[in-house]
Amino acid sequence: MGLKAFGSDALFALFLFLIFVLLLPGCQPSQQAPSSSEQMPTPTPAKPVMLKMPRLQITTDLNQAYYYQGQPVEINFIFQNIGNQTIEFETFPPAVTISQYIAINYSVPVRKFPGGTVNKALLPWGETTAFTIVWDQLDEKGQQVPLSYYSVSLDDLNTSEKIDEVALYESGRLLIGPEDSMLDKTLYLNESKTVNSIKFTLEKVEFTPFGTTIYVIYLPIHYFPNSPTEIYAFYRIDDNVTQGAGKAKIDWLINGMRFTWNKLEPVYKDAKYYTFSITGFNYNHENWSDPWEFSFSLR
Burial of 171 (0-12, 13-18, 19+ CB in 10 A): buried
Give CA separation, 254 vs 202, 251, 292, in Å: 18, 10, 24
Domain-embedded: residue 162: yes
Domain-embedded: residue 1: no
List, in sequence order, every beta strand (DSSP E) within 219-269.
229-237, 243-244, 249-252, 257-264
| Concatenated DSSP letters of 10-23 | HHHHHHHHHHHHHH
Residues 217 and 119 in one domain: no
Q: How confident is the model at residue 173 (pLDDT cuts 50, 70, 90)?
A: confident
Q: What is the pLDDT of residue 166?
A: 63
Residues 100 and 144 in one domain: yes
pTM, rounded to two decimals:
0.59
Residues 120 and 206 in one domain: no
Q: Could you list the residue range(s) of the whole structural domain that residue 189 is in?
A: 185-297
Burial of 97 (0-12, 13-18, 19+ CB in 10 A): middle
Residues 231 and 194 in one domain: yes
Amino acid identity of residue 248, one-letter, is A
When the pLDDT of each residue in the chain is averaged and rounded to a whole number, the result is 81
Q: What is the pLDDT of residue 165?
A: 59
Domain CATH for 209: 2.60.40.1630
> For the chain, how big is the Rg over CA atoms in Å?
36
What percent of the chain has a predicted confidence (pLDDT) above 90? 40
Q: What is the pLDDT of residue 229?
A: 86
Nearest C-alpha neighbor of 67 from the set 270, 265, 273, 298: 265
Amino acid identity of residue 38, one-letter, is E
Q: What is the pLDDT of residue 25?
A: 53
Domain-embedded: residue 154: yes
Instruction: List, in sequence order, the alpha helices (H) in 37-164.
Output: none
- Determine the Cα–Cα distance for residues 291 and 281; give it in Å rounded to an integer: 9
